[in-house]
Amino acid sequence: MSGAVTRYEAGEAFVRKMDAEDPLRGFREEFLFPLHGDQPELYLLGNSLGLQPRKAKQYVLEAMESWATLGVDGHFRGERPWMEYHVGLGEQMARIMGARPAEVVVMNTLSVNLHLMMVSFYRPTPERSKILMEASAFPSDQYAVASQVRHHGYDPARTVIALAPREGESVLRPEDILETIERHGQEIALVLFGNVNYLSGQAFDMAAITRAAHAQGCRVGFDLAHAAGNLALSLHDDGPDFAVWCTYKYLNAGPGALAGAFVHERHANDPTLHRFAGWWGNDKRTRFLMKPDYEPTPGAEGWVLSNPPILQLAALRASLEQFERATMPALRDKSVKLTGYLEFLLDRLPPGFVHSLTPRNPAQRGAHLSLRFSKEPQRMLETLRSEGIHCDFRSPDVIRAAPAPLYNSFEDVHRFVGVLERHARS
């Protein structure tokens, strides 16, 4: 299924052909689907919580068995000693994120990692104190930013530049982002964007934003919660100072799973960077000497506070193995086709019934489309759930549908829009 699809078709024959030719079709069997009655749900919620990999329970139980049989010796003995459990996962995660292994670490949760990164990379001065972010950033990012600003003695109302779309538009224009950076750059300490916006589904050009911000002397960070495992990323080459993400969405690591952080290698050996320190971030060569002075491990691991929870790493391992086999380029290729097919079928529905907020250009979006319906969205959501189709709702009136390429199919997309069409004509 290589190359771009040039012509979609609405009929079932096209759907069967696309699924039969899909080189990733076998991955669907590696995941557990919730049931609707006695049948698997049509699950379009990978952008909220990914499905459970079949091997997740096995790997967690293996870690439990090591604990039961080895006790503390499990740190150094057994098939997968806990001391180095995270290392291989960090290398796999780095490949997913387009980074070098030393630039990525799996730790904490997303908001905790965002705070830790802002401790280091948001260092306001009277001349340069502002933070530029999306007005529609996810609430936890807004809370984190406001609290960091207050911590430094500034007023968020004066310090945070919240960039909103133009009146009557639902997404930000790329040129408006760059113009704002140029106009306010000398007073901006940090540019913080979400890459894929959770509400609109818009994906931003990280390389362009980073270049523009660095040209003005600003630090740059990204929240990749909706991009990790969704887009083909190139964090090292794009060059932001840091990035953070969760792993429970497209990365399928389970509710509340460990998150990830990226710190560009140009900061790898800078011990002067302000940071909150913990024992597990201390240089591995001297960690067990128990010295009072902190010597950070070079790279992203220098931001780690505590030894990682092995049971969560075990669940993440089950998913990362699937990404390693599938590869991000192949997943992204299928995702573009799946979401493009969804858009094609939506365009065939009665005029005015549904409107997508998400950009039509595949380069400016990920897997999900954010949809507004002319009929009551809550009623629409109930209709979908009654048919065994699971999407989600975002206030005040958006239904999000995300065909995840690891486990969703063209048949899923066809069935989803078929239910919408029956509702539109009823």
Q: What is the pLDDT along the chain (426 residues), one digit of tens a residue?
A: 545 545 899 999 999 999 999 999 999 999 999 999 999 999 999 999 999 999 999 999 999 999 999 999 999 999 999 998 988 899 999 999 999 999 999 999 999 999 999 999 999 999 999 999 999 999 999 999 999 999 999 999 999 999 999 999 999 999 999 999 999 999 999 999 999 999 999 999 999 999 999 999 999 999 999 999 999 999 999 999 999 999 999 999 999 999 999 999 999 888 789 999 998 898 888 888 888 888 889 999 999 999 999 999 999 999 999 999 999 999 999 999 999 999 999 999 999 999 999 999 999 999 999 999 987 888 888 989 999 999 999 888 899 999 999 999 999 999 999 999 988 887
182 three-class SS: helix
The reply to whether 365 and 293 lie within a common domain is: no
Alpha-carbon gap, residue 191 to 204, rounded angstroms: 13
Q: What is the pLDDT of residue 82?
A: 94
Sorted by sequence, the CB contacts under 8 Å of residue 316 that are 6+ apart come out as 89, 106, 247, 251, 253, 254, 257, 258
Q: Which of 323, 341, 361 lies at the terminal end of a domain, its last residue?
A: 323
Does residue 328 contact residue 366 with C-beta atoms inside 8 Å? no
Distances (CA, A) of 356 to 58, 195, 200, 203, 398: 40, 19, 9, 14, 9
Q: What is the pLDDT of residue 179?
A: 98
DSSP state of 171: S
Tell me the pTM: 0.95
Q: What is the pLDDT of residue 176?
A: 98
Q: How many degrees, rounded to 5, is the angle at CA 228 between CA 223 and CA 231?
A: 110
Q: Is residue 16 part of a domain?
A: yes
The reply to whether 180 and 285 lie within a common domain is: yes
96: left (phi over 0), alpha (psi -120 to 50) or beta: alpha
The reply to whether 343 and 305 lie within a common domain is: no
Q: Which of 289, 323, 357 lies at the terminal end of a domain, its last residue?
A: 323
Sorted by sequence, the CB contacts under 8 Å of residue 408 that are 6+ apart come out as 28, 43, 44, 46, 338
Q: Which of 267, 301, 323 lies at the terminal end of a domain, its last residue?
A: 323
The reply to whether 365 and 280 lie within a common domain is: no
